Amino acid sequence: MARSLALALYLLVAGRRGSEPEPLRGERPAGTLLWMHIGAGSGRKRLAQLARRLAELRPGLSFLVTAEGPETPDAGGFPAATAADRQPPERTPAITAFLDHWRPDLALFAGASLPPALLAEAHGRAIPLVLADIRIPDMTGYECFCRVLEYRPNVPVIFMTGFGYDPGHSIVKARQNGLQAVLFKPFRAHQLLDELEKALTRPTQTPVATAAESPPGGGTASAV
């Protein structure tokens, strides 16, 4: 799927925007670094819970937390020594400095926001994970699926859902176009890791995008 004209123009503008002084950043944690981004509408506590379970299952895994907005998020509840930073503005110089400093090995995005310039630069560096909430006000799960493929054609995609009923037929339509797997909540962290490892160890070695859907009204379903 070719990159849309609108996205190409957006990235062109992002590349021409001026720079600003870079914030002071801590040292990058050692080892494999999982970058977890808390987007609009996502739950910090749930991501912290998932991070703790992942740390138990994968000793030595380090974490970086960013959040929607100009402030550095609170990393309370995340594993010890989790680094925190603010989301870089949608300007190529700021994004480049952010990724050069942290050098994340995986990126997990939660919530309704997908910052285009940030995702495009991460794609260019082959950072291999995107987590997006497919139940958002102006986009169906299938539309989210197509948008992810716009950034990364042929990427394996995994859906996570707390619904037994799929009124928009997002899962059916996405399966017809290459959806890799569906995880129904509640499930255990090792099930998610198993699906991610299957996708990441394929011969193509393409990054994996995970689309997560929350229960109505926020619900209580958990990914661990």
pLDDT for 78 equals 95
Q: Domains (ranges, CATH) in the chain?
A: 5-15+29-217 (3.40.50.2300)
Q: Do residues 139 and 168 make contact, with C-beta atoms less than 8 angstroms apart? A: no
What pLDDT was estimated at residue 212? 53
CA distances from 104 to 30, 64, 87 (A): 11, 8, 14
- Distance between CA atoms of residues 88 and 132, nearest Å: 18
Count of beta carbons in the 10 Å neighbourhood of residue 146 = 15
- Enter the pTM of the model: 0.64
DSSP string over 203-215: TT---EEEEE-PP
Separation between Cα atoms, residue 131 and residue 158, nearest integer Å: 9
Q: For residue 20, give both structure tokens.
A: 């600003």
Q: What is the pLDDT of residue 14?
A: 66
pLDDT score recorded for residue 112: 67
pLDDT along the chain (224 residues), means of 10: 57 63 81 88 81 86 89 90 90 90 88 76 78 59 75 71 70 79 75 71 52 42 31
Tokens linked to 136 = 């958002």
3-class DSSP state for residue 114?
coil
User: What pLDDT does residue 35 have?
Assistant: 92
At residue 194, the pLDDT reads 76
CA distance 106 to 146: 21
The answer for residues whose C-beta is within 8 angstroms of residue 40's C-beta and 6 or more apart is 68, 111, 112, 113
pLDDT on residue 195: 77
Q: What pLDDT is attached to residue 126?
A: 83
